């Protein structure tokens, strides 16, 4: 055992690349909500992308290193301390055996990531170390006193890490499979109005409140598969963006789908934050229309 | 059959009638068309459609996140055209499920069906149930088989807690709760069988396609 949890406030979970291939049995994919931040943390400590790390929610955690490790904290910015002394966020840090690392409360955003060289090595469940919070498949949420194994780490080589690209502007959406269950121009409606993040948002979904989306088809939708980023609309007309722990099937129509590359921003939205959408028309290359390479 | 695009790399296949989604999903899964093949009540979701699965029609590689091209969608359509409903009906494995009909909504359901309690039990247990799809929770099976005239609505307000093993019905579906959870289905009874064990292969006792024979427990 390598890390001992000495403080866990709010939800703290283990996340890796996620659990694939079990959706037909009702098992959510899980995985880090802010995947680019998680990938960056792993890269900083010399891990492969998708190595298991820790995801915090607003309040952070502290761990004591039982052997020397290299760690990095990314995602929602927060104070990072080792034995009470401030250390840089977003950089690899060497932690001596016996030292205590604190990942503080997020100063903005919601979810910070703590990667440790070698990766968190809890026992996988169905091929993944990710905790799914919908049905609690995978390792349990972290609590004080838990000890976590860590895999054999390598000394990370210096990497040229690109600055974090902060998302800007409205979230991009394209029409969903049931857009025709709603009033005409529903995408115009969705992209015109401002929505506010509801406090009930979690790893399952980003719940929004605002101008309700009116349905024209009133019958019940037979349950059908859901994808990551699906914007599902329950009878109250308030949209819910499906995040990593979303149920695999649902009985409410999906009006739109948020682009995968914008989903990490949903991970960092706080209750009360404003959300806008914009319509995204992907340019699909036709056959034989390969772009010419520039010399 | 109709194919709808669903985000960048997913397709939703809509079937004309009920009862064939599970069969199509099993057929498609064996062709390794996508990362996830998820049957619903009348649909099959292909999520993470793979590049090479239909002869590399769009040259995409597995794990690609770029948009499916029209050529790729046409490739999936060609695969789907080769499916004949009912032809390769691999009869799924048969599981005998012990059920004690002691649920809190049994009397209510019997009244809705215009039957005595005993008749309602016999009627439900005699149905040949087949798992159409799983959802709601890991290992929660949606069992098809109840005829349309025995459809019942969900509870007006869901129970905050339904125990693991509870057997309930909603619309024409029968479901079994793998773990304790909130739930709005009308509960007919319960089973001692373990519906979900992550260490088991497969972890779900009743995956899609499974035929279920209910064995009434006294």
Shortest distance, CA B197 to any CA of chain A (angstroms): 10
Nearest chain B residue (CA) to A226 = B45
* pLDDT at position B89: 54
What are the distances in angstroms from CA A140 to CA A12, A133, A148, A284, B14? 9, 9, 11, 42, 37
Out of B4, B44, B208, closest to residue A177 by CB:
B4
Interface of A with B (CB under 8 A): 20-27, 125-126, 134-135, 137, 174, 176-177, 220, 222-230, 247-250, 254, 257, 259-261, 282, 284-287
Residue partners of A177: CB distance under 8 A and separation at least 6 = A224, A254, B4, B5, B6, B12
Cβ–Cβ gap B36/A20 under 8 Å: yes
CA nearest neighbour of B139 among B95, B74, B103: B95
* pLDDT at position B51: 63
Q: How far apart are CA B142 and CA A24, in angstroms?
A: 11
What is the percentage of chain A residues whose pLDDT exceeds 90? Answer: 83
Contact A170, A192 (CB under 8 A): no
Q: Is B195 on the interface with A (CB under 8 A)?
A: no
Q: Is the pLDDT of residue B144 over 50?
A: yes
Q: Is the pLDDT of residue A115 over 70?
A: yes
Cβ–Cβ gap A248/B29 under 8 Å: no
| A:B CB pairs within 8 Å | 124
- Show residues of chain B in contact with A220, CB under 8 Å: 171
Dihedral sign computed on CA atoms, order A172, A289, A177, B47? negative
Cβ–Cβ gap B45/A224 under 8 Å: yes
Residue A58: left if φ>0, alpha if ψ -120 to 50, beta else—which one? left
pLDDT digits (tens, 9 = 90+) for B157-171: 889 899 999 999 999
- Show residues of chain B in contact with A288, CB under 8 Å: none
Alpha-carbon Rg for chain A, nearest whole angstrom, is: 20
Q: Is the pLDDT of residue B23 over 80?
A: yes
Q: How far apart are CA A282 and CA A172, in angstroms?
A: 10
**Do strands B94-100 and B211-217 pair parallel, antiparallel, or not at all (unpaired)?**
parallel
User: For residue A190, what are its two tokens?
Assistant: 């969705």
* pLDDT at position B202: 87
As to burial, measured by CB atoms within 10 angstroms (0-12 exposed, 13-18 middle, 19+ buried), residue A55 is: buried
The β-bridge partners of B67 are none
CA nearest neighbour of A12 among A107, A80, A100, A111: A111
DSSP assignment of A88-147: -TTS-EEE-TT-EEEEEEESSSS-EEEEETT-B-PPPBTTB-PPPTTT--SSPPP-TT-E
* pLDDT at position B183: 87
Q: Is the pLDDT of residue A163 over 50?
A: yes
Q: How many CB atoms lie within 10 A of CB B111?
A: 12
Shortest distance, CA A160 to any CA of chain B (angstroms): 24
Q: How many CB atoms lie within 10 A of CB B146?
A: 18
What are the distances in angstroms from CA B130 to CA B68, B85, B143, B146? 33, 16, 5, 10
Q: Is the peptide bond before B202 cis (omega within 30 degrees of 0)?
A: yes
The β-bridge partners of A148 are A3
pLDDT digits (tens, 9 = 90+) for A194-242: 999 999 999 999 999 999 999 999 888 999 999 999 999 998 999 999 9
User: How many helices and strands, by DSSP H and E, does chain A display?
Assistant: 3, 21
Q: What is the pLDDT confidence band of residue A290, given thresholds at 50, 70 and 90?
A: very low
CA nearest neighbour of B187 among B98, B108, B112, B82: B108
ipTM of the modeled complex: 0.90
Cα pseudo-dihedral A57, A62, A68, A70, rounded to 10:
30
* pLDDT at position A291: 42
Nearest 5°: the CA angle B175, A177, B80 is: 80
* pLDDT at position A284: 54
Shortest distance, CA A189 to any CA of chain B (angstroms): 19
Contact B48, A23 (CB under 8 A): no
φ, ψ of residue A206 to 5 degrees: the values are -95, 110
Cβ–Cβ gap B133/A226 under 8 Å: no
- Show residues of chain A in contact with B204, CB under 8 Å: 25-26
Provide the CA B213 distance to its chain's centre, in angstroms.
16
- Show residues of chain A in contact with B68, CB under 8 Å: 284
**Do strands B166-170 and B129-134 pair parallel, antiparallel, or not at all (unpaired)?**
unpaired
Average pLDDT for A70-89: 97
Contact B119, B110 (CB under 8 A): yes
* pLDDT at position A104: 98
Q: Regarding predicted confidence, which is higher, B181 or A101?
A: A101
Residue with tokens 């770029």: B66
- Show residues of chain A in contact with B25, CB under 8 Å: 24
Q: How far apart are CA A171 and CA A179, in angstroms?
A: 17
Q: How many CB atoms lie within 10 A of CB B117?
A: 13
pLDDT digits (tens, 9 = 90+) for B37-73: 999 999 999 999 886 545 444 444 445 567 888 888 8
Q: Is the pLDDT of residue A264 over 70?
A: yes
Dihedral sign computed on CA atoms, order B186, B187, B193, B194? positive
Residue partners of A48: CB distance under 8 A and separation at least 6 = A42
* pLDDT at position A288: 41
Q: What is the pLDDT confidence band of residue A164, given thresholds at 50, 70 and 90?
A: low
* pLDDT at position A289: 41
Residue with tokens 């079937």: B15
Q: Is the pLDDT of residue A50 over 60?
A: yes
Residue with tokens 């959300």: A275
Average pLDDT for B110-117: 97
Cβ–Cβ gap B142/A224 under 8 Å: no
Provide the CA B174 distance to its chain's centre, in angstroms.
10
Q: Does residue B124 sit in helix, strand or coil?
A: helix
Q: How far apart are CA A54 and CA A73, in angstroms?
A: 10
Average pLDDT for B173-188: 93
- Show residues of chain A in contact with B6, CB under 8 Å: 176-177, 227, 230, 254, 257
């Amino acid at each position: 055992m390598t890390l001992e949890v000495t403080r866990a406030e709010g939800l703290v979970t283990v996340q890796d690349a996620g659990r694939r291939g079990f959706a037909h049995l009702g098992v959510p994919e899980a995985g880090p909500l802010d995947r680019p931040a998680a990938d960056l943390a792993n890269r900083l400590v010399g891990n492969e992308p998708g190595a298991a790390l820790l995801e915090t929610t607003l309040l952070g955690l502290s761990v004591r290193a039982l052997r020397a490790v290299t760690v990095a904290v990314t995602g929602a910015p927060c104070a990072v301390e080792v034995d009470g002394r401030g250390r840089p966020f977003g950089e690899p840090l060497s932690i001596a055996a016996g030292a205590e690392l604190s990942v503080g409360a997020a100063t903005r955003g919601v979810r910070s990531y703590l990667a440790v060289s070698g990766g968190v090595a809890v026992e996988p469940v169905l091929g993944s170390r990710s905790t799914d919070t919908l049905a609690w498949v995978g390792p349990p949420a972290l609590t004080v006193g838990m000890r976590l194994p860590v895999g054999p780490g390598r000394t990370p080589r210096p990497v040229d890490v690109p600055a974090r690209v902060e998302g800007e502007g409205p979230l991009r959406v394209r029409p969903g499979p049931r857009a025709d269950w709603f009033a005409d121009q529903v995408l115009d409606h969705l992209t015109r109005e401002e929505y506010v993040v509801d406090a009930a948002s979690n790893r399952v979904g980003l719940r929004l409140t605002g101008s309700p989306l009116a349905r024209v088809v009133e019958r019940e939708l037979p349950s059908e598969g859901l994808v990551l980023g699906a914007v599902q609309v329950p009878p109250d007309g308030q949209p819910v963006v499906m995040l990593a722990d979303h149920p695999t099937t649902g009985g409410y129509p999906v009006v739109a789908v948020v682009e995968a590359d914008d989903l990490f921003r949903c991970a960092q939205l706080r209750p009360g934050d404003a959300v806008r959408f914009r319509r995204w028309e992907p340019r699909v290359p036709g056959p034989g229309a390969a772009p010419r390479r520039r010399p | 059959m109709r194919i709808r695009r669903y985000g960048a790399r997913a397709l939703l296949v809509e079937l004309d009638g009920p009862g064939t989604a599970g069969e199509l999903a099993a057929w498609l899964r064996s062709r390794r068309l996508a990362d996830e093949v998820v049957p619903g009540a009348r649909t099959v979701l292909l999520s993470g459609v793979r590049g090479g699965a239909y002869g590399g029609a769009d040259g995409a590689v597995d794990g690609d996140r770029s948009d499916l091209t029209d050529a790729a969608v046409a490739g999936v359509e060609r695969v789907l055209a080769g499916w004949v409903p009912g032809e390769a009906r691999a009869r799924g494995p048969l599981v005998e499920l012990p059920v004690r009909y002691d649920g809190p909504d049994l009397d209510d359901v019997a009244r809705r069906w215009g039957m005595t309690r005993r008749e309602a039990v016999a009627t439900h247990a005699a149905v040949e149930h087949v798992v159409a799809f799983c959802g709601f929770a890991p290992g929660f099976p949606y069992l098809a088989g109840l005829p349309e005239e025995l459809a019942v609505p969900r509870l007006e307000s869901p129970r905050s807690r339904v125990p693991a093993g509870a057997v309930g019905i909603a619309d024409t579906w029968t479901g079994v709760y793998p773990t304790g959870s909130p739930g709005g289905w009308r509960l007919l009874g319960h089973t001692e069988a373990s519906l979900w064990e992550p260490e088991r292969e497969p972890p779900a006792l009743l995956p899609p396609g499974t035929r279920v024979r209910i064995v009434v427990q006294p």
